[in-house]
Amino acid sequence: MKPQTLLAGATLGVMGGGQLGRMFVHAAQRMGYSTVVLDPDATSPAGRVSHHHLHADYLDTRNLAELARLADAITTEFENVPADALAQLAAHRPVAPAGEAVAIAQDRAREKAHFTRCGVRCAPYAVIESEEQLALVPDALVPGILKTARLGYDGKGQVRVDGREALVAAWDGLGRVPCVLEQRLALAAECSVVVARGAGGTLVHLPPQRNLHRAGILAVTEVFDGVLPDALAQEAVQATRSIAEGLDYVGVLCVEFFVLQDGTLVVNEMAPRPHNSGHWSLDGSDVSQFELQVRALAGLPLVQPRQHSPAIMLNLLGDLWFRPGADAPVEPDWPAVLALQGMHLHLYGKSEARPGRKMGHLTITGASPVAVRQAALAACDVLG
């Protein structure tokens, strides 16, 4: 289906009802669109705020047909949406990103082959789908990280292995599903780049973001001058551009990178959608990653976003709801956080807090990097 320009009043559809879908819905509604969300969970964060919510499985043919009937164009917020479902929808409506790009991003082996094809270096790796391949893994890949080729997120589906015996046990433990084994690299830092690309090939990007992970989950993103050396930041943008163009991508794409201790850049993975590390753009940029997703889907112009404030994003995980000694979850002290300057609180409307669950995020903006760092520390003090 050829994309056309959709104006206010049209309906934009999204596969997936998580927080990314919710923020997409908010951006779409602000610009006058109606929205429809397809998600199996009746209480999904995006479903709750959308004009229409189809709660059905992603492969339910009847509901996919209903989504195609209601929506003028469809995007995804969840990378594990079956590529088949996107292909079914694409027979009726413009779908961005395309199912094929999403299918590549869903499979670490295909993803790495794509990076290599685009001339972007990734960690040395081997694909493991059989005992023979397991036995042939080069010594240089251990110590390594064994990752399931599909369905991993937030560090799930990954095992650190220090020797061959551990590798064999880890592959068993992961159910002998197709995996990639990556050499464990000495990281100096991690960063990511969010780009949006239109059907005509126009590409714009957010500034490279520096990310800090805890236990495999993004904890903090910092975005201001100096978080990364200029040359490295430019290289990351250029690499992301090559990866997006190589996919003939339409929509918002995030590419995650490692900065090694020798100062070089290595690509880690990509997400075919807005990304947690781009959430700061809702408060620190004149165009957010969700507005970019709306614009790309609706065929509206993509203009280069301008960051208007240094920003730090803190993820609010469910752990914050569990105070030492309390036997039930307790809402954190938001009034105390909001009494500080430059706080932008985003809560996703999830009914139940669980450790490790992304409940919301806090973006801190301010006049200078020093000011936002001080405010972020003050917010952490309040949150404990």
Residue ranges in contact with ligand ADP by CB under 6 A: 123, 145, 147, 152-155, 182, 184-185, 187, 190, 213, 216, 256, 268-269
What the block records as the tokens of 383 is 């949150």
Q: Is the peptide bond before 143 cis (omega within 30 degrees of 0)?
A: yes
**Euclidean distance between CA atoms 380 and 357, whole angstroms:** 18
Residue 229 Cβ vs ligand ADP, minimum distance, rounded to whole Å: 19
Q: ∠304-193-363 over CA atoms, to 5°? A: 85
Which amino acid type is present at position 231?
A: A
Is 155 or 349 the residue whose CB approaches ligand ADP more closely? 155
Q: Is the peptide bond before 97 cis (omega within 30 degrees of 0)?
A: yes
Q: Which of 326, 335, 314 is nearest to 382 (CA)?
A: 335
Is 185 or 232 the residue whose CB approaches ligand ADP more closely? 185
Residue 297 Cβ vs ligand ADP, minimum distance, rounded to whole Å: 24
Residue 340 Cβ vs ligand ADP, minimum distance, rounded to whole Å: 28
Residue 143 Cβ vs ligand ADP, minimum distance, rounded to whole Å: 9
What is the number of other CB atoms lying within 10 angstroms of the CB of residue 129? 14
Is 42 or 187 the residue whose CB approaches ligand ADP more closely? 187
For residues 74 and 93, the answer to whether their CB atoms sit within 8 Å is: yes
Which amino acid type is present at position 79?
A: E
What the block records as the tokens of 342 is 């430059």
Residue 212 Cβ vs ligand ADP, minimum distance, rounded to whole Å: 9
Is 149 or 375 the residue whose CB approaches ligand ADP more closely? 149
Residue 105 Cβ vs ligand ADP, minimum distance, rounded to whole Å: 10
Residue 271 Cβ vs ligand ADP, minimum distance, rounded to whole Å: 8
For residues 321 and 359, the answer to whether their CB atoms sit within 8 Å is: yes
Residue 208 Cβ vs ligand ADP, minimum distance, rounded to whole Å: 15
Is 201 or 355 the residue whose CB approaches ligand ADP more closely? 355
Residue 257 Cβ vs ligand ADP, minimum distance, rounded to whole Å: 10
Give, for 370, the enclosing helix (H) or strand (E): helix 369-383
For residues 30 and 323, the answer to whether their CB atoms sit within 8 Å is: no
Give, for 37, the enclosing helix (H) or strand (E): strand 34-38
For residues 23 and 53, the answer to whether their CB atoms sit within 8 Å is: no
**Helix, strand or coil for residue 104?**
helix
Q: At 36, give phi and psi (nearest 5°).
A: -135, 135
**Euclidean distance between CA atoms 40 and 184, whole angstroms:** 36
Is 79 or 283 the residue whose CB approaches ligand ADP more closely? 79
Is 71 or 189 the residue whose CB approaches ligand ADP more closely? 189
**Helix, strand or coil for residue 165?**
helix
Exposure class string for 315-334: b at 16+ Cβ within 10 A, else e: bbbbebbbeeeeeebeebeb
Is 256 or 283 the residue whose CB approaches ligand ADP more closely? 256
Residue 333 Cβ vs ligand ADP, minimum distance, rounded to whole Å: 30
Is 25 or 102 the residue whose CB approaches ligand ADP more closely? 102
Is 33 or 115 the residue whose CB approaches ligand ADP more closely? 115
What is the number of other CB atoms lying within 10 angstroms of the CB of residue 209? 30
